[in-house]
């Protein structure tokens, strides 16, 4: 990266920089946090735009009956710097004032957060709960993030070349960029065309139904159209207005978050005229945040990695003792599973074979650590957690750690021996907890979905369930049966015997796993590709345009298939 770098403003609904700034729900936010930390470390001209969620996503605890319940304390945030800037947005007929905070203490990543909770009843609700509320709440939040975000950048006097929309939530930023240009005298079509040169977009949702849509009438009523006509809005996002399609039509280049997701996403949107090409840039994780220091130096110096691994495992065991009053044994194979309790992640899958699992637990061959939050309104997800919690009451070697956060994630991805990942294919766009585990030599036992197939080598740096049995997996039920059979086969025939009887082989696999993660799964590699495949492309296209070229169809965007 030698030539002048484009200056990037990155928009995201959530950021997982630290548990001291709890404004995230899961993988999307952690990705955004890891990205900003990496940007700052590499001294890249990148700023983040987000929202200060006063009540967070949820503080989720486990009730007596094992069913999770949610608390929404008003967080007291430290380390926020008052920029003394506030911007105004229109929401449903009212002027909304957004205060702009600056966050710069978390490994120095620069992040600006908008906040409407200023003691004004007509607007306080907007930025309180991340992903809380119904349709109108969500649209109001997205107006603040997108339109308010661009206005904040202007008020801060920041010179930006490229606007990067991380997921469709921030798509209204494009409408503000169009409005600005129309105010300068351009027609709607000209303004749209110029705006496209400045926007790149990352899509995260591999299932069509999972992409956010809003009734166009509702958007007009909420004033999300930002002065555009209903007809113009329809041209951009259709009716119902699809946030992903709109983002694809407002950007010049898009990316999916793993190679496999790239194929899925291209197929999913190929019927959309005038959509940006979708390339694939696999997510990555921030090494400084997720890799244990002692594991890192042992790996780098070629010294014993088992000792630092055991230390990390004992830290996790101490935490389990403190929180759940359960004693785990550092000499017993420990498998971790932690992620949002969404149904497709199949958190309860392996408990469908208690006839195999029960005896293993009773003989003390295995310990299981679970964690994860469900969306507060997701009853199905909460039932999954309840089921796991209730099973854990029968077995002292299963625990569920409540209120999953970055601290728990770090303890688990460093302190388990193996990491289980069994989402329903092809629902996991990327997944990143397994990358963090891999960085610490915690071996992935995983289906091939998201990033896994492009990095993990079966029996070398982890285990791929798809390679265990020779069968074709098709329907949902097949996947359950297949994955259960494959999991228990690999557990009984390989994972357990190798762990207990061939420590040298296990350690060699740990080293392969760390090597794979360093080579392929870091956020540094990801950001490098963002520059190569998104930002520089857009930047060149924009300058090409500014230099007076009449058409932009000539410009070749990279779109590897
Ligand atoms: C890494 C991480 C996630 C994302 O994990 P996935 O495997 O992508 O589901 C979610 N929450 C926290 C706290 C994390 O650290």
Task: Decide: 513 in ligand 1 pocket, CB within 6 A.
Answer: no
Beta strands in 191-265 (DSSP E): 199-202, 213-214, 241-242, 253-256
Q: Which of 106 and 177 is assigned the larger pLDDT?
A: 177
Task: Decide: 431 in ligand 1 pocket, CB within 6 A.
Answer: yes
Task: Decide: 30 in ligand 1 pocket, CB within 6 A.
Answer: yes
Going by pLDDT thresholds of 50, 70 and 90, the confidence category of residue 544 is low
Q: What integer pLDDT is reported at residue 550 of this predicted model?
A: 37
Task: Decide: 336 in ligand 1 pocket, CB within 6 A.
Answer: no
- 59, 64, 67, 70 alpha-carbon torsion, rounded to 10°: -20
* CA 122 to centroid of chain Cα atoms: 31
Q: What integer pLDDT is reported at residue 554 of this predicted model?
A: 31
DSSP class of 285? B
Task: Decide: 406 in ligand 1 pocket, CB within 6 A.
Answer: yes
**Is the separation of the CB atoms in 429 and 240 below 8 Å?**
no
Q: What integer pLDDT is reported at residue 551 of this predicted model?
A: 34
* pLDDT (average), residues 347-352: 96
Distance CA 344, CA 83 (A): 42
- pLDDT over 60 (residue 364): yes
In the reported structure, the alpha carbon of residue 22 is separated from the centroid of ligand 1 by a whole-number distance in angstroms of: 14
* pLDDT (average), residues 430-453: 97
Q: Which of 259, 258, 285 is nearest to 523 (CA)?
A: 285
- pLDDT over 50 (residue 293): yes
First to last CA, the chain: 25
Q: What is the pTM of this model?
A: 0.95
* pLDDT (average), residues 369-381: 96
Q: What integer pLDDT is reported at residue 547 of this predicted model?
A: 54
- pLDDT over 50 (residue 561): no
- Angle, helix 243-250 to helix 172-183, in steps of 10 degrees: 40
Task: Decide: 26 in ligand 1 pocket, CB within 6 A.
Answer: yes
* pLDDT (average), residues 337-348: 93
Average predicted confidence (pLDDT) for the chain: 94
**Is the separation of the CB atoms in 246 and 236 below 8 Å?**
yes
DSSP 114-172: EE--SS-TTTGGGGTSTT-S-HHHHHHHHHIIIIIHHHHHHHTT---SEEEEESGGGTH
Q: Which of 133 and 362 is assigned the larger pLDDT?
A: 362
Task: Decide: 339 in ligand 1 pocket, CB within 6 A.
Answer: yes
* Ligand 1, pocket-test mutation among 15, 25, 30, most atoms within 8 A of CB: 30
Q: What integer pLDDT is reported at residue 545 of this predicted model?
A: 55
- pLDDT over 70 (residue 184): yes
In the reported structure, the alpha carbon of residue 398 is separated from the centroid of ligand 1 by a whole-number distance in angstroms of: 20
Planar angle of CA 464, 204, 521, nearest 5 degrees:
50
Q: Which of 103, 54, 48, 44 is nearest to 79 (CA)?
A: 103
User: What is the tens place of the pLDDT at every residue in 196-226?
Assistant: 999 999 999 888 888 999 999 999 999 999 9
User: What is the tens place of the pLDDT at every residue in 519-532?
Assistant: 999 999 999 999 99
* Ligand 1, pocket-test mutation among 29, 258, 432, most atoms within 8 A of CB: 432
In whole angstroms, how far apart are CA 199 and each of 8, 251, 319? Answer: 10, 5, 44
* Ligand 1, pocket-test mutation among 56, 372, 409, 439, most atoms within 8 A of CB: 409
- pLDDT over 60 (residue 548): no
Q: What integer pLDDT is reported at residue 104 of this predicted model?
A: 83
In the reported structure, the alpha carbon of residue 230 is separated from the centroid of ligand 1 by a whole-number distance in angstroms of: 38
Ligand 1: which atom is nearest the Cα of residue 27? Answer: 4
In the reported structure, the alpha carbon of residue 375 is separated from the centroid of ligand 1 by a whole-number distance in angstroms of: 14
Ligand 1: which atom is nearest the Cα of residue 339? Answer: 9
Rg, the chain, Cα only: 24
In the reported structure, the alpha carbon of residue 372 is separated from the centroid of ligand 1 by a whole-number distance in angstroms of: 9
Q: Which domains does the chain have, with CATH numbers?
A: 8-284+525-548 (3.40.50.2000), 287-521 (3.40.50.2000)
Distance CA 112, CA 291 (A): 27
User: What is the tens place of the pLDDT at every residue in 465-491?
Assistant: 999 997 888 788 899 999 999 999 999
Task: Decide: 405 in ligand 1 pocket, CB within 6 A.
Answer: yes
Q: What integer pLDDT is reported at residue 2 of this predicted model?
A: 43
In the reported structure, the alpha carbon of residue 248 is separated from the centroid of ligand 1 by a whole-number distance in angstroms of: 26
Percent of the chain with pLDDT over 90: 89
Task: Decide: 244 in ligand 1 pocket, CB within 6 A.
Answer: no
- pLDDT over 70 (residue 48): yes
User: What is the tens place of the pLDDT at every residue in 227-283?
Assistant: 999 999 999 999 999 999 999 999 999 999 999 999 999 999 999 999 999 999 999
Q: What integer pLDDT is reported at residue 208 of this predicted model?
A: 84
């Amino acid at each position: 990266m030698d030539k002048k770098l484009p200056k990037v403003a990155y928009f995201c609904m959530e950021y997982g920089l630290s548990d001291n700034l709890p404004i995230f729900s899961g993988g999307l936010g952690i990705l955004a946090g890891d990205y900003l930390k990496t940007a700052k470390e590499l001294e890249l001209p990148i700023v983040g735009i987000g929202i200060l969620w006063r009540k967070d996503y949820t503080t989720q605890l486990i009730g007596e009956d094992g069913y999770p319940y949610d608390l929404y304390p008003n967080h007291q945030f430290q380390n926020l710097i008052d920029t003394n800037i506030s911007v105004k947005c229109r929401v449903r007929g009212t002027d909304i004032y957004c205060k702009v905070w600056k966050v710069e203490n978390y490994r120095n990543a620069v992040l600006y957060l908008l906040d409407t909770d200023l003691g004004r009843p007509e607007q306080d609700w907007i930025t309180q709960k991340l992903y809380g509320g119904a349709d109108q709440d969500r649209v109001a939040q997205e107006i603040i993030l997108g339109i308010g975000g661009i206005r904040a950048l202007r008020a801060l006097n920041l010179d930006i070349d490229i606007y990067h929309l991380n997921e469709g939530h921030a798509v209204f930023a494009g409408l503000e960029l169009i409005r600005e240009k129309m105010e300068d005298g351009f027609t709607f079509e000209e303004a749209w065309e110029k705006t496209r040169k400045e926007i790149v977009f990352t899509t995260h949702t591999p299932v069509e139904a999972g992409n956010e849509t809003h009734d166009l009438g509702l958007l007009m009523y909420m004033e999300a159209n930002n002065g555009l006509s209903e007809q113009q809005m329809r041209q951009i996002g259709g009716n119902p207005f699809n946030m992903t399609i709109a983002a694809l039509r407002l950007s010049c280049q898009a990316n999916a978050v793993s190679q496999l997701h790239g194929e899925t996403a291209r197929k999913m949107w190929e019927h959309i005229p005038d959509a940006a090409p979708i390339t694939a840039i696999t997510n990555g994780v921030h090494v400084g945040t997720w890799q244990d220091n002692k594991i890192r130096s042992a790996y780098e110096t070629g010294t014993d990695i088992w000792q630092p691994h055991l230390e990390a495992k004992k830290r996790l065991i101490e935490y389990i003792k403190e929180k759940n009053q359960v004693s785990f044994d550092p000499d017993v194979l420990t498998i971790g599973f932690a992620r949002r309790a969404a149904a497709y992640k199949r958190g309860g899958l392996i408990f469908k074979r208690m006839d195999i699992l029960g005896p293993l637990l009773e003989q003390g061959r295995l310990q299981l650590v679970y964690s994860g939050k469900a969306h507060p309104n997701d009853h199905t997800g909460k039932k999954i957690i309840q089921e796991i919690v209730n099973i854990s009451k029968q077995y002292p070697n299963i625990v569920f750690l409540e209120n999953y956060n970055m601290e728990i994630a770090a303890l688990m991805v460093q302190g388990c021996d193996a990491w289980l990942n069994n989402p329903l294919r092809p629902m996991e766009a990327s997944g990143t907890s397994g990358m963090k585990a891999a960085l610490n030599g915690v071996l992935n036992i995983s289906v091939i979905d998201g990033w896994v197939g492009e990095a993990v080598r079966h029996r070398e740096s982890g285990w791929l369930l798809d390679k265990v049995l020779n069968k074709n997996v098709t329907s949902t039920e097949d996947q359950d049966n297949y994955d259960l059979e494959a999991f228990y086969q690999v557990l009984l025939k390989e994972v357990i015997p190798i762990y207990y009887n061939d420590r040298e082989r296990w350690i060699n696999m740990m080293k392969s796993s760390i090597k794979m993660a360093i080579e392929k799964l870091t956020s540094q590699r990801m950001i490098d590709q963002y520059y190569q495949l998104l930002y520089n492309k857009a930047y060149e296209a924009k300058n090409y345009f500014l230099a007076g070229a009449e058409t932009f169809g000539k410009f070749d965007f990279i779109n590897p298939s």
